[in-house]
């Protein structure tokens, strides 16, 4: 069974940093791209960042470029999101999601999701 | 960025009804369109990927169609567990973007 478990969320002041982690199990982690998707309270979904299986490709939404860094450790079956210079608008539930594969290629649909890590940005 | 627009934003229907939700992209995304179901307080779940492919374990009453800019998600006979919010998402190019959601409610 595919499982994704996020951790590291919490309350942080504007301008400070936080690091999210996602522990994966139930599948061959190194074969899949991984993503972070967030959802502000009562709002829709926003893709934040993605990383290919070998970390060769990394992408971000413009609003977090230069502040957030995605990384992964395939040996530890873990995905990370380092979030610096946090703003009020970054407050959201952050989901870790696996990138799906279609016809042998990463097709960037999100086929399994964790339960999310809540990030609250407030003074 | 590619804008995704869903309609309607909300929909009231009864158990057994056939319902259709539409998603329109601001430019062609060929077949790179996915649908998710989200229930209150839960993580989203993949329903359809690549416009028409049913994700593993999803009931066959769900179907998807479309290509280019216009896509639909159809539920052939609504069941009580289908009442939720549905989001479309394009995976054609980054940043991957979602529609605003369609809330499917019980009439």
Predicted pLDDT of residue A104: 83
CA dist list (Å): A37 to A13, A109, A121, B96, B100: 21, 12, 17, 10, 14
- Residue B50's pLDDT band (boundaries 50, 70, 90)? very high
Place of tokens 């998707």: A37
Give exposure, A8-24, as e/b (b: 16+ Cβ within 10 Å). Answer: bbeebeeeeebebbbbb
Find the CB nearest A45 among B44, B45, B55.
Answer: B44
Predicted pLDDT of residue A103: 83
Query: What is the Cα–Cα distance from A110 to B45, expressed in whole angstroms?
Result: 8
- Dump pLDDT digits (tens) for A4-23: 999 999 999 999 999 999 99
Question: Does the pLDDT at position A107 exceed 90?
Answer: no
Cα A38 to the center of its chain, rounded Å: 8
Helix (H) or strand (E) holding B102: strand B102-106
- Give me the mean pLDDT over the B82-91 stretch: 97
Predicted pLDDT of residue B98: 98
Query: What is the Cα–Cα distance from A46 to B89, expressed in whole angstroms?
Result: 10
Cα nearest neighbour of B95 on chain A:
A61
Find the CB nearest B96 among A108, A113, A115.
Answer: A108
Min distance A34 CA to chain B CA atoms (Å): 13
- Residue B21's pLDDT band (boundaries 50, 70, 90)? very high
């Amino acid at each position: 069974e595919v499982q994704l478990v996020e951790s590291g969320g919490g309350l942080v002041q504007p301008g400070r940093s936080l690091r999210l982690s996602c522990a994966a199990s139930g599948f061959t982690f190194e074969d899949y791209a991984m993503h972070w998707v967030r959802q502000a309270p009562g709002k829709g979904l926003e893709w934040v960042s993605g990383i290919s299986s070998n970390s060769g490709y990394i992408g971000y939404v413009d609003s977090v470029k230069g502040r957030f860094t995605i990384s992964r450790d395939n040996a530890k079956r873990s995905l990370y999101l380092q979030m610096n210079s946090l703003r009020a608008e970054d407050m959201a539930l952050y989901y870790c999601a696996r990138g799906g594969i279609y016809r042998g290629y990463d097709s960037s649909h999100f086929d399994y999701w964790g339960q999310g890590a809540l990030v609250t940005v407030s003074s | 960025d590619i804008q995704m627009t869903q309609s309607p934003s909300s929909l009231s229907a009864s158990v057994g009804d056939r319902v259709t939700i539409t998603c329109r992209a601001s430019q062609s995304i060929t077949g790179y369109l996915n649908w998710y179901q989200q229930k209150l307080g839960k993580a989203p779940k993949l329903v359809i990927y690549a416009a028409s492919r049913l994700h593993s374990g999803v009931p066959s009453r769900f179907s998807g169609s479309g290509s280019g800019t216009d896509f639909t998600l159809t539920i052939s006979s609504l069941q009580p567990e289908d009442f939720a919010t549905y989001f479309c998402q394009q995976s054609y190019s980054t940043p991957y973007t979602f529609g605003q959601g369609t809330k499917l409610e019980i009439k």
